[in-house]
Structure 1
Amino acid sequence: MMSFNMLLCAVVLVLAVSVEAGLSGGNNNYNYDLSGQALRNLFNSPVYKAERVIRPLGSSSAGVGPFSHSGVLVTLADNSQHLIHKGNGYGKSSQTVVTDARHMSPAWQVDSSKNFQGTKTVAHFVKTGGSDYNLLTDNCHQASKRMMNQ
């Protein structure tokens, strides 16, 4: 007979695997809008506004808690916007990546906002997001909160 603790561990494991699969986007199909000097310029760009944004996982219409994905939408001096977010398999050398905001779906909703007044760069946000992904100890939600609190 399975004890309550063993059953709870089994449920948590299934949930973790399900969330991991939903977060992963890990098809390793890397598309790049920028490279070389243009990419360096983006990473060195000052961030003026940052908004923590959240969307539901996959095709789910409810995006709460672990059943959602989060990132930080940054606005630069030229009013261009980029989503900085983290996921398993999202990048090559880092699991925190920068995506042009034009690739965002309308499902993203603003959770909080902060004016950085150009005191941090895109690179600061990526570094704060962290290069490694771990579902339990360093996931998208933890990374986006760290980015907003830097």
Structure 2
Amino acid sequence: MSSCITLLCALLLLLLGLSVEASSGEGGSTTHSYDLSKPSLTQLYNSPVFKAELMKRPLNGFSFTLAPLSHSGVRVTLADGSQWLVHKGEDYGVSSDTVVVDARHMSSAWQVFQTCNFHGTKTVADLVAAGGTDYSFFFDNCLMATQRMMTQ
């Protein structure tokens, strides 16, 4: 009986993985739009982070947020009050799957789950590095990247 339950769980995880990969939402396309030029992007990456909020939203096609059925990222607030979302997904960026987008692009479906005050001791680049460059559903997904960003 135990092996049947294990097999069923493995099958459900596989189906969930395929469903998540197919509906990664916000990103995942090969067309990229940029809000900042290279000098402004460099300045953003070197900016100190004062507040970090772990954010989650339902995956596309779902109306609820449940850990494996959600997308997560970290919304950072900089000294000037601007807010940016650092999040990871398959093919979200060109050279890295962890990207930074202006928080004004976030839908109202995003919810705050945890807040951390870094007091300017971390930069946006530190969080991007903690997110990692390559996405893997089982080994380095958005949830794992977000936890690293919040605890580094």
TM-score with structure 1 length normalisation? 0.93
Paired letter, 1:22? S
One of 68, 85, 103 as aligned partner of 1:66 = 68
In structure 2, what is the Cα distance between the partners aligned to 1:110 and 1:11?
A: 28
* Aligned residue in 1 for 2:120: 118
* Aligned residue in 1 for 2:130: 128
Count of matched residue positions in the alignment of Structure 1 and Structure 2: 148
- Report deviation, 1:8: 4.1
Pairs within 5 Å for 1:57-96? 57-96=59-98
In structure 1, what is the Cα distance between the partners aligned to 2:9 and 2:53?
A: 35
- Report deviation, 1:7: 4.5
- Report deviation, 1:59: 3.5
Paired letter, 2:13? V
* Aligned residue in 2 for 1:22: 23
RMSD across aligned positions (CA): 1.4
Structure 1: stretches of 5+ with no match in the other structure: none
In structure 2, what is the Cα distance between the partners aligned to 1:129 and 1:89?
A: 14
Paired letter, 1:77? A
- Secondary structure at the aligned position of 1:23 is classed as coil
Any idea what the Cα deviations from partners look like across 1:4-60, whole Å, max 9, x if unmatched?
A: 255443332222111121226322111000121111000000000000000000142
In structure 2, what is the Cα distance between the partners aligned to 1:66 and 1:8?
A: 14
Any idea what the Cα deviations from partners look like across 1:61-112, whole Å, max 9, x if unmatched?
A: 1011111000000000000000000000101110000000000000000000
TM-score with structure 2 length normalisation? 0.92
- Secondary structure at the aligned position of 2:24 is classed as helix
Residues 116 and 150, structure 2, Cα contact 8 Å, conserved in 1: yes
Structure 2: stretches of 5+ with no match in the other structure: none
Paired letter, 1:18? S
Once the two structures are aligned, what percentage of the paired residues are identical? 55
One of 39, 50, 53 as aligned partner of 1:51 = 53
Paired letter, 1:53? M
Paired letter, 1:133? Y
In structure 2, what is the Cα distance between the partners aligned to 1:65 and 1:36?
A: 35
